[in-house]
């Protein structure tokens, strides 16, 4: 090679430095981290903040320190989980100032980006839940009733398949303690979750519910609602919403019909909400409410109506 071509090659190399060889490994973990953080926090916005902070801590290390990390994915997951654990510890304090009921942030139908396809494996025998189940609003609401430690241990082990030894390193407890935390969380979940209703069956009930509501048919709505059904609305103090849950099938039916009788122009859309059939209400082309349902024995048992505009940003994207 001539000195001229050698110099040209050197200049080209200096002008276009090779990319960080670890960058692809770091970026490839983003979906896994978002998936984990969303389930832990119940907020997509908070999950994205956690991932940003995790990456910031990664790049705050020197290249030599990053080279010493044997498993990039494990390091990122550990840091993200610990950030979530800290946030969960302060979440209850922040909730005290939240106006009205708090409901996890709903995510739109195409949840492939949050399915957490990259999972750790473990030989620990335990009852497990699928990622689809762990995305449902009913599941997230029960998670929110757990202690931060229970929640993290349960999600990491039962959902993301980490061994209790790995969970112990993340949460700073013994494997035995983490096993007890996950077991306690599992009991809470089992006490509130009935047999799963097939998606097609859920969709049919939600469709019938939508048609009865649009028709202002109180009797039909009562027939679709469990006598002990419950509606929880989340407006965050930013838009009108029921400050307390509405309970009882007959009361809910009248409440819903009264809502749409007060105004016109609402459009009801059947959409997938957190991986399950739900409804989206639009007014003048803008999403005003996202509704998630829990269904048992062909009856609606729970409705979560999210109206807080800060939680509806993913539903307003063009």
* In the chain, where the domains are located: 21-188, 199-316
Instruction: Tell me yes or no: is domain 199-316 CATH 3.10.450.50.
Output: yes
Which parts of the chain have pLDDT scores under 50?
1-19, 21, 111-113, 115-128
The pLDDT, as a whole number, for residue 149 is: 94
Mean pLDDT value across the chain: 87
Cα three-residue angle 34-35-39, rounded to 5 degrees:
110
The pLDDT, as a whole number, for residue 135 is: 92
Query: Closest Cα to residue 99, out of 248, 236, 247?
Result: 236
Q: Which two tokens stand for residue 191?
A: 């006490």
Dist CA 108 CA 312 (whole Å): 9
Query: Closest Cα to residue 137, out of 50, 38, 212?
Result: 38
Query: In Å, how far are 239, 258, 289 from 263, measured between CA atoms?
Result: 15, 9, 14
DSSP H helical ranges for the chain: 3-15, 23-27, 30-41, 44-60, 63-67, 72-95, 137-144, 148-154, 164-171, 175-192, 199-214, 218-224, 249-261, 313-316
First to last CA, the chain: 54
Model confidence pLDDT, tens digit, residues 8-53: 333 333 444 444 546 677 778 999 999 999 999 999 999 999 999 9
Output the pTM of the full model: 0.86
| DSSP run (H or E) holding 269 | strand 266-273
Dist CA 51 CA 55 (whole Å): 6
The pLDDT, as a whole number, for residue 50 is: 97
């Amino acid at each position: 090679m001539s000195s001229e071509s050698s110099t040209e090659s050197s200049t080209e190399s200096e002008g276009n430095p090779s990319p960080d060889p670890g960058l692809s490994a770091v970026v490839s973990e983003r979906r896994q981290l978002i998936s984990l953080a969303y389930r832990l926090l119940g907020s997509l916005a908070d999950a994205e903040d956690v991932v940003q902070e995790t990456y910031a801590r990664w790049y705050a290390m020197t290249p030599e320190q990053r080279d010493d990390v044997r498993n990039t994915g494990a390091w990122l997951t550990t840091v993200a989980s610990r950030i979530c654990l800290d946030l969960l510890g302060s979440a209850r304090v922040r909730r005290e100032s939240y106006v009205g009921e708090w409901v996890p942030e709903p995510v739109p139908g195409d949840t492939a980006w949050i399915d957490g396809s990259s999972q750790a494996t473990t030989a620990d025998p335990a009852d497990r839940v699928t990622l689809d189940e762990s995305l449902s609003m009913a599941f997230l609401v029960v998670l929110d009733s757990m202690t931060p430690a229970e929640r993290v241990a349960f999600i990491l082990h039962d959902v993301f398949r980490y061994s209790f030894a790995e969970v112990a390193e993340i949460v700073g407890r013994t494997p035995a303690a983490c096993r007890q935390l996950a077991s306690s969380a599992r009991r809470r979940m089992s006490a509130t979750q009935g047999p799963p209703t097939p998606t097609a069956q859920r969709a049919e009930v939600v469709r019938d519910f939508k048609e009865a509501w649009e028709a202002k048919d109180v009797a039909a709505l009562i027939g679709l609602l469990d006598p002990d059904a419950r509606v929880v609305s989340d407006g965050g103090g930013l838009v009108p919403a029921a400050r307390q849950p509405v309970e009882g099938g007959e009361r809910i039916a009248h409440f819903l019909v009264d809502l749409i009788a007060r105004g016109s122009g609402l459009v009801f859309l059947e959409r997938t909400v957190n991986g399950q059939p739900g409804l989206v209400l639009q007014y003048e082309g803008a999403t005003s409410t996202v509704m998630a349902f829990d269904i048992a024995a062909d009856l609606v048992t729970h409705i979560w109506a999210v109206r807080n505009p800060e939680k509806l940003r993913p539903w307003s994207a063009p």
